[in-house]
Every structure is written in C-alpha cells, then in structure tokens.
Amino acid sequence: MFGSQSRQTKADVVDKARAARAERALNKNHSGLMIKIQSHCRRYLYMTNLRKEVRSSVDEFTDKATQPTAIEIFNKMRWLLFIFQRNIDNTRLEKLCHRILSNMTIDDSPKLWYVTLAISNQYLPAWLYQAKKLLQICCEQLAIVKISKKNELEAMQLYLTMLVTFSSITSWKLINSKVLANKNFRPILQQICEQILLHLISNEFFINIKNFLWNSTRSGELKLSKISLSGVIVIIRRAFDVSRKNSKSLTQFMESIMAYPALLYHVKKISPESLSEFRESHILEVILDTYADGNKLSMITTSLGGYYSFSLLGNLIQLSQCSDKAWIDKLATFKSIIMYLLSYCHDQNSVKNSNATVHHPLFGWCSKSLTSQLQDSVTFIGQQFQYLWMPNAVQLFFNDIFEKSDEVSTDAASPGNVGESSKKKKGLFGRVFSKRQIKEFILPSTKVKTDSELIKRVCSTCAMYNTAISTLPEMRTDILTGISYYYGLLEPLWKFIYTLYQEEGPQIFHENSLKLSDTISLTTLFCNCCCHLITIVDDIEMYQENKPFTLDELVKMAAILNHMVFYAVWKLDVFTSSKSTGIKYSYEYRQMINAAHMLLMVLYDRNCRRSFTPENHWIIRELNYAEFTNAINEGANRSYVLLRKIAHVIPREKRVDLFRKLVADDKKSLGIFANSSTGRPSYTYITINRSRLLEDGYEQLTQLPAEAIKRTIKVQFVNEQGLHEAGIDESGVFKEFLEETIKKAFDPGLNLFKVTCGDEPRLYPSPTSYIHDNHLSLFEFVGRMLGKAVYEGLIMEVPLALFFLNNVLGGQHSALYSCIDELPSLDPELYKNLNYVKNYEDDVEDLGLTFSFDEDVLGKIITHDLKYGGQSIPVTNENKLSYIHLMAHFRLCKQLKKQTAAFVKGFHSVIKPQWLQVFSGPELQLLIAGENTTISILDLKKCTKYLGGYHSKHRVIQWLWDVLKNDFSEEDRCKFLKFVTSCSKPPLQGFSNLQPPFTIRYVEAENEEDRESIGRVFLRALSIPNRRNQSPSRLPTASTCFNLLKLPNYHSKQILREKLRYAIQSNSGFELS
C-alpha cells in the first residue's frame, strides 16, 4: 500500500516540475517578445521623428535660392534615400535631382558638380553606392509613371534625364575641366558608369523600361515625344553595350525590349535618327551570334509565347533593314532564326481541334485571342513584316542568283521610293519584267546539281518565304506581290527548275525522290509567285510582249506541272486521307503539289480563254482510261479527286461520255425509263398557247419540283384560234417548245439577257432585268429549261459569254478567280480602257476618274459607287490598281449577282454541279450549243435514217449528199443543219449524239402525200420517178422537233440543189408531224 502511494507522489512531482519549466519558458518568451515590441516601437518612433527631421531638412534645403555644393547635395540625398518612401518622398527626390542636373550644367564649377565626388577617394565608395541606388529608384519610378498626367510627364522627363546623364560620361563637364587637365580619369569614370549600368541591369532595368513603354502606349501607338524616345533608346543602347556578353542580360533584353510590339516601327516614325543607336551597337550581329544555337532561341520563345514571339520577329525584321551590311555574312543564321520564329508562331497560334476560334488580322483563324494592347499593335507589326519582301530584301536574300548590281538602291526600301522608281519604267508592271543579267549557272551549258551549295542557299531563302506565306495567310497577297514583282526574279527561278528537270528527269518532283527535299521549297515558291503574277498580266503583255515568260516557256511549264500533279493525284493519291491509304505525305510535299496545282489551273484557264498550247497538250497519255473507269466503278477516291482537280488530263470525248453516263444513271434512278406498270408517273402534261409561249411555260413549269422537270414533259400546243394543234408529242413537240422558249427568253429584246460588245456577240444577264417584276424567277426558270436541254442532250444555239459560263461552273467562288481575266469576255472596250489606266505613265488624277461607275438605264444616268463614298474619291497612282479590280468586280459580279445566282440555281436543279466539274467554260458552251467545227457530211450520212421509201442508194439521196459535200459552202451546210435541226452546229462528238437522229422522209405531191399504196412504195424503193405526181415547185420542208427533213422526189440534181438552197436561205415553214 505504501509503495503505491510513493509511486503516485513521484509522478506528481515530475508533472509539477515539467509545468514549472513550461511556465518559466513562456514567461521568458513573453519577455523577449515585449523587448522586440519595445525595440520596434522605439525604432518606429525614432524613424518617424527622423523622417520628419530629414524631410524638413530636405524641404528647407531645396527651398533655398542659393546654389548648393555637390557635397551638400550628396549628404541630403544620402539621408533622403535612407528614409525614402514612394508616394511620400517623390517630390523631394525630384527636387534634389533637379538640383543635381542644374549644377551639372554650370561651367567651371567643380564644387557644384555632383560627379566631382566620383574622383575623390574619400567619397567614391559612398557616392557610387548612392548613384546606383538613386538611378535604380529613378528607373523604378519611370516604370510606373503615367504620362497622361502633366506632373507625372515632367517627372518622367526628369527620370529619363537622370538615367541618360549618369549612364555615360559624354555630358559631364568634369571631363574637359581644368581640374583634370593633367589627369586621365576618363577610363575610371567610364568604368564607374558601367558599374552603375550593370547594377541597374541586375535589378530588372530592361523590364522597367518595357513597363514604361507599355504605360506610354495608347491604342497601339507610342505617345512619347521625339526627345523622350531618343533618351530611352540611348539608355537602352548603353545598357546593351555593357551587357552584350552576358547571356542572362541579353535574354532580358530580347524578352523585354526586342519583344515590345513594333518598337522599331515607332522609333522610325517618331525619332528616325535613333535607329543609328541600334546600328552602331551592332545589335543584330550580337543577336545572330548568340542565338545561332536554336536551344537558346527556343528558351526565349517558350518564355514569350506565340504573340510576343511574333512581336520579336517584327522587330528583328525591321532591325535587319536599319543595320549596316556587316551582318550579311550571317545571312544563313538570320534566315534560320526568321524561319524558326515564323514556324513557332504558326504552331502556337493555329487552330488545334478547338471550336472556339478567333480571327487574327495576320494569322487568320487562331485558337487564342489577343489582348487589347496587342490587338492595337498588330497593324504596325504587319508593316514591319513588309520589310521582309521589299525590293532590297529580296535582292539581298536572292543575291546568289543575280550579279552584283546597283540598280536597286537602299532607298528602294521605302514604299514611296518604290513608287517613284516604278514611274520611270514603262507601265505599272514594267519593273516586273525588266531583264537582268543572270549568272553562268542558268546557261544551257551549265550543269545544276541539287546538292550544290548554291541550290541549298536559294532553297533556304525560298523555304523562309514559304513559311511566311503559310504563317501569315492574311498577308499572302502582299508577300507574293513583293517577291513576284521584283525585277526578273521569276525568270532565273524558272531556269533553275527547268534545268533540274532536264538533268534529273520528271522523277525529281516525285515524293519518293531522294533529291526532292533539295528543291521542294524552290518549286513551291515559284508556283505561288507565278500563279499570283500571271493572273494580273493582261493579254497584250502575255501573248504579244511575252511577259513574264515566252509562250514556249509557258508550254514547257504547263507540261511539267501537268505531269507533277497527275503523278501526285493518280499514282500517289496524295489528296486521300492518310487514314484510308496508310501513307502520310510530308506537309512540304503537299504544299508543293497544291501550289503546282494552282499554277497549273491558272495556265489551263488562260489557255481555255485563248489557246497558247498545241492540240491535246493537256492530255496525259499514261492514264489508262479502262483503269480509270474501274476506279470510278469501285468508288476509289483518287478517281474523284482527279475529276475534281485535273479532269483536263482525260480526253474531252471521254469526259462527255462520262457526263452522259451520269445523266443516264440519274434517269435510271428516277425511273424515267420504267414502264407505266411500275405505278410511277414518268411524264407531265402542259398546254401551251403559241402566242404566250414563255408565259405559259413559266406558269406551268416553275412550280414543279426538279425531279418532275427531269422526267418526260408532254406538250399540247394551242394555236391562235384557241384550237388544239394536231400531232402527238413523242418528245418532238417538247423539243420545239424548248427551242422556242429558250430562243424567246434569250432574245435581247426581252431584256432578260444582253449581248456583249466585240466581234463575237455573246449573251449574259441584263443588269436592268429588274424592269420585269418577276425577273429573278424568270432567270431561274430559264436556267431550268437550258439545264433540261443539256440533260436531254438537245443542242440549243445559245452563245453565252465565257465569264457567265464560268459562273455556272462555280468558278466565281474559286481561289483562282480573277475579275480582270474575265472582263474581256464581257466588255473588251472597258478592259482596254482599264489597261490604259494601269499603264498610264503620268499622274492618273489628270484623267479625272473617281471610284464610281455611270450606267445608262433607260435613258437615265445612274451612278454606282465602287466603294463607300466612291464619287468623292479620286483615282490616283497609289490606288489605281484597287480601282481597276473594283471596277471589274462590279461589272462582272456585283452588278449581275442576283440574276446570275437565280439562273445558276435553276440550271443546277437539273444538272448537278459535280457533273460539270469536269468541263471548262468553253467545253460547257460546246455541251450546250454543239461543236464549233466544220460539218462532216460523211458522219451525218452515216448516222441518217430514211422513211417512206428512201434509202442510202436512192438517187435523190445520193444527189443530196453530193450537193451538200461538193456544191454547198460551209456557210450553206451550216444553214442546212439549222434548217433541219434548228442549230447550225453539229452536236458534240458527232451526229451519233444527235437526238432524235437525223431522218429524211420521202414526200410526193401535196394532194397525194398522205395516200400510200404498195405500188407507190415499190416505185420509190426502185428509184423510179412517178412523173404524174412530181411537183417541181415544191420546196423541202423540215420538222426540227424531230430533226426530220421532208425531201420531195426531184427528177434532177439541179432542181434539188436549187430548191434546197432556196429553202435553207428563206427558212421555209415548219410542218406538223
């Protein structure tokens, strides 16, 4: 019992002791805290009193009218910096800085100069510490100043002056004073300035300057005076000079200064003299030496992100233009840096599986939106990028191609000078085609190898420009204009490509070629530039002056491109998804094929309008049509891609057959050929009054669905007396209705369509068709009817304007569409006048043109503005290209937009657009109106059918063919064909495609025509004339709806010839069948 109590007592004692120790420790801690609190309170009270005393002393000191000495200022500044608090002591600091700067301007007063203390061993350490701290505060204050306020604007100027003054000894009067007459303190003082700058740089100098620049920016523009900006550039240059070998400091310079949006643009605009600071410091050379290693550049771009890397790129490009030529030895490094930054910006800002996209003024559609500050600067950055494709830059980058020449001076860099130089050439595009001497390698005797250093340098330049085009889609036109308009550049590039093609063969452009990578960028850039240039070259320049290439060169170019694209489409199936084929082609190769295809189609479209190639030049002999047909039947994607992109490689006859097969398949799917037992009605009845042909057709057919239009339509005509005409419509009467309806609708007198000017009048929608209340519905109906004619294979002699045919094909929505190219097919005179304006050598304003177009509408002049306020905007040398394009666009597109859209809608409701993609505009015209060739009597004879006793051996029939072949001229044969078919042109691909087939029927005397007997038919078959019933006065007649000729049994060849010629020239009447 006693032991238990003892153990409990011992535990209590231990607990009490532990508690006592804890209490003592707590009391000790409390005492320590109290001491610290008392210490802080005493310090606070002391500092408060000290600050009051110092501030009072500084205020008293700065209010004195007398000039203080440097030591007095130093001591006051020392105390002020010790107790300095922002927003409280700013004014005092500024007053002391004013004292310092004021004393620095007094001559021969070393005691007043603040920097005099720097040559004193007693004061130097403390002075250097004070100067570093003072300028650091100035720099930090500069970063937060708001120049919108007047007092802060004055403070900004003061801080800048302090930094400029004490970052260099150049303005110190001490250097030239008598005090230092026999002493060389210059190196020591320069070293002091460098130490001050290094201290500032280590304390975020470049970041503070960047913040100051941002605070001085409004709506993207730098709102600094010339003097202030000059000061900023001076201290930036000095800081760069002392830190150029420090990679960390250089990185801060790149991220803060060089990445500030459009910095050099603002410097050139506000203080162009300050650009010399960048040049004298050789900033570009240092950057190229430091960042030749891609890893260092990668670290900077990762830190900056896509948009600020874009700003860095803009400043680097402009920096290359204002730097001296010492950096040209590092041209390869510069190109690689530009390419890297462009690719990085493209990768960072492109849309990557994101539905929420925004539009960037230069990058196009992006995945990230811009901040408001960056958004305002984009325009200026875009102007910096223009330097990359200005004449002197193009000359520099392609210097390997040209001999050294002084033709293009450095002044060519400015847009104004470019305009002045272009005036000296004949015509606007004279400078584009100026001949330059080219180095020996492009001569026929010279061998060009893909692995040569020359080729590699040229291709690296091309790769840089290709990257710029893909990264900056919104500037594509500017880039291509800058490169392709450069004096004679495209000629040597073409000679490069053609010489390589001759040396290596066509396989040089195949994806599996080992040497393709060496030339892919060159080919891509050439195709893009050539495509851009050829679209604006007029016919005189191209066909007569052979600009930019001779026609022979264009023929060779088309052959190479045709083979290249065909191989990629048919052999490699490049345009099919890699998921389907299992083969993934490089982005660069697909980019080259796309560029080659665009140029190929530009040449093909130009050739369609006015041929410059030999016959069958575009057809690829390697294409096995049976293989192609099998691919279509199997649904192979490459066959449809070939039809969509390069259908011209297939002979036209095969494409027409394919079109007719598609139509036949469509009819089969609609059951048009099915029997009535199927329960599906295959025809529609309409009743047409001959006096209201177009109106009745419009009222009864316009409401029918497209499927009903495609089916058989039976017509019952009503004559002028209101009686139904005799005859059974077995498609022949409908053909007559279709012919007459289309003839009336396209009659210019109705004002739905007008006729173009020129030697070959063509039809196009009338701009004033709105005089008809329902003119758009009428256009849709006419489009349907013409589509129905094509659907049924009927030939309608309707000559349509080429630009209108291209619109039917959908060419107006193509990326290659050019209003200027199409304008001659509408108004050759306007096209000629616009070319006159384009090539006008003097001031265009003298012509008195404005951005407007006057139109005569029913005797009243209506003025249309080509752009907003166009009547008051004069056409000048600077905007005349815009005027030409706007005028062509207005006449071809804007003025006819609604009418064309309605017609195309109706036409496409019957003929599917994808069926037409295999044809060009002229080929579509042939499909509509027949072939514009000489009439083959032999072909017509072979495809003719005979009725009523006539046969191929009948003497009258033989006389007929002999007369047509030997006695009739080509004009007479055309009239004969129009007489019997209503169309003067043969059907596409021969008379075997004429529907219904051409038929000749025996005709007797009028009173016995309808009475037949076995004997009469027997006599006809034996070619024995029935003298009693011959009617020499009777003329041949025709039923054009059936393509039927009713030919009397004449007793002599001479009578047949005379009667037939009279009939076709007098267009003798139509007879019912």
Catalytic residues: 1041
Say whether the peptide bond before residue 824 is cis (omega within 30 degrees of 0): no
What's the DSSP call for residue 861?
Answer: E
The upper half-sphere exposure of residue 960, i.e. CA atoms within 13 Å in the direction of its Cβ, equals 26
* Amino acid identity, position 377: S
Expressed in percent and rounded to 5, the helix, strand and coil fractions of the chain are: 65, 5, 30
The answer to whether 467 and 343 are in contact (CB under 8 A) is: yes
Rounded alpha-carbon distances, angstroms, from residue 310 to 267, 473, 799, 949: 18, 14, 53, 86
Report the 3 state secondary structure along 1026-1049.
Answer: CHHHCCCCCCCEEEHHHCEEEEEC
Amino acid at the residue 305: G
Q: Report how far apart the first and last C-alpha atoms of the chain are (Å, whole number).
A: 146
What is the DSSP annotation of 474-510?
GGHHHHHHHHHTSTT-HHHHHHHHHHHHHHH-GGGGS
Q: Where are the beta strands (DSSP E) in 42-102?
A: none
* Interatomic CA distance for residues 197 and 191, integer angstroms: 10
Angle at 947 between CA 941 and CA 953, to 5 degrees: 50
Picking from 544, 553, 576, 460, the residue whose alpha carbon sits closest to that of residue 501 is 553
DSSP 903-932: HHHHHHHHS-HHHHTT--HHHHHHHHH---
Inter-residue contact 659 to 650 (CB < 8 Å): no
Report the run of H or E that residue 713 belongs to, with start and end. strand 712-718
Rounded CA gap, 390 and 418, in Å?
9
CA pseudo-torsion sign 1030, 1036, 1039, 1043: positive
Preceding omega of 548 cis (within 30 degrees of 0): yes
Q: What ranges in 793-844 are assigned the alpha helix state H? A: 802-808, 819-822, 828-838
Beta-carbon neighbour count of residue 403 at 10 Å? 10
CB-based contact 763:746 (threshold 8 Å): yes
- What is the CB neighbour count within 10 angstroms for residue 939? 15
Instruction: Quote the CA–CA distance of 960 and 980 in Å, as a whole number.
Output: 14
Strand locations in 437-590, DSSP E?
A: none
Could you give the C-alpha distances from 255 to 136, 205, 210, 676, 856, in angstroms and in order?
20, 12, 9, 81, 62
Pick the closest to residue 123 from 162, 73, 52, 175 (CA basis).
Answer: 73
Do the Cβ atoms of 618 and 542 come closer than 8 Å?
no
Burial of 372 (0-12, 13-18, 19+ CB in 10 A): exposed
Provide the sign of the torsion angle of the four alpha carbons 411, 416, 417, 422, taken in this order: positive
Both tokens of 45, joined, read 């009270």
Quote the tokens at residue 552.
């022979």
Residue 461 and residue 398 in contact, taking contact as beta carbons nearer than 8 Å: yes
Task: Report the C-alpha gap between 228 and 156 in whole angstroms.
Answer: 9
Radius of gyration over every alpha carbon of the chain, rounded to an integer in angstroms:
44
